[in-house]
Amino acid sequence: MMEKWTIKAGLTVIAGLVLAGCTSSTNESAETVNLGILQLMDHESLNATREGFLEVLTEAGYTEGENLNIDYQNAQLDQSNLQSMSERLSGDNDLILAIATPAAVSLANVDQETPILFTAITDPVDAGLVANLEEPGGNLTGTTDAGPIEEQIKLLLSLTPEAKKIGIIYNSSEPNSVIQGDEATRLIEESDLEVVLKTVSSTNEVMQAMESLASEVEGIYIPTDNTLASTMGTVAQVAEANQLPVVAASTEQVEAGGLATYGIDYHELGRQTGEMALEIIEDDADPATMAVESSKVLRLVINEEMAEKLNINPDTILVPE
């Protein structure tokens, strides 16, 4: 399913969707569920995923403090935090939600019994979390945020028809980002354009890397990278100063300062993961036989405020066929 949204003055109509699901009746007959959540860090995409997940549970009648206990842990991008938090959540919950690849890998290393749902993960097979997408084979399954990279690159190239060089930036220590960056590189080079790649290892390096890219390229692609997602304000600042269109892989990255994307809505991806949680909680579904799901909703999202700053008419931004 594809929809086209525009974001005006930094706001988006997604808020209406969030509010639409907030009324529900308490599931008085449900047994109390102990839910653990391990999130890699704070940023729009990961937060939206968690909120969408919990929204589904609320709509199904699970109310925190009544029949739902939540132990929410946020590692703030610290590996040592991931280890200790994984150990804390292991064994004491009926279900655990892992948000982002490092969180899921950390949990998988310490808990092979508790059902674990993951989300915001591009390639769970490559990460060693599941045997295959159709039959995961262990105690983990969930949703992948693998997006339509080919369409995203076509979108960027349609915005930069005279370009000779396209930039890509991501954190090289994030496996998801490397996978997407390699695919984006291949697609750009197949279009006879040169790729200029910049990688960072922390948020502190983003400004310098972006300024370096801006001096060399005519457009920038950013995959679903946790480090870049948390610094989209910096990305937007450099992009505006240099009049560079930025196509990011997720809708939340566009909301935070990119120009446009055709991609994943993380709130909806979280809701999709929440529906899988209900299967486990209420129907005793086994993660080993629950296929990993891809996003059912893709959206063309345009940040009109950024388009105006770049002197681009948002009505001309379309997903190329």
Same domain for 194 and 306? yes
- Could you give the residue ranges of the DSSP H alpha helices within the chain? 14-20, 44-59, 79-89, 101-110, 149-159, 175-190, 206-214, 226-229, 232-242, 251-255, 266-283, 304-309
Q: Specify if 321 maps to a domain.
A: no
DSSP conformation class of 32: P
For 74-94, write each residue's pLDDT tens digit: 999 998 999 999 999 998 999
User: pLDDT tens-digit profile of 209-234?
Assistant: 999 999 999 999 999 999 999 999 99
Q: Name, of 6-20, 28-42, 118-132, the range with top average pLDDT.
A: 118-132
Q: Answer yes or no: do 180 and 39 share one domain.
A: no
The reply to whether 72 and 103 lie within a common domain is yes
Q: Kindly state the tokens that stand for 184.
A: 């984006």
Alpha helices, DSSP H only, in 6-43?
14-20
Residue 278 lies in a domain: yes
Q: Given a cut of 80, is residue 9 above it in pLDDT?
A: no
CATH code at 186? 3.40.50.2300
Whole-prediction pTM value?
A: 0.81
Which structural domain range is residue 37 located in? 10-22+31-145+265-297
Q: Number of structural domains, the chain?
A: 2
Answer yes or no: do 105 and 197 share one domain: no
CA distance 208 to 206: 6
Strand partners of residue 199: 170
Mean pLDDT of 166-193: 96
pLDDT-derived band at 10, boundaries 50, 70, 90: very low
Tokens matching residue 249: 């892989």
Q: Is residue 286 part of a domain?
A: yes
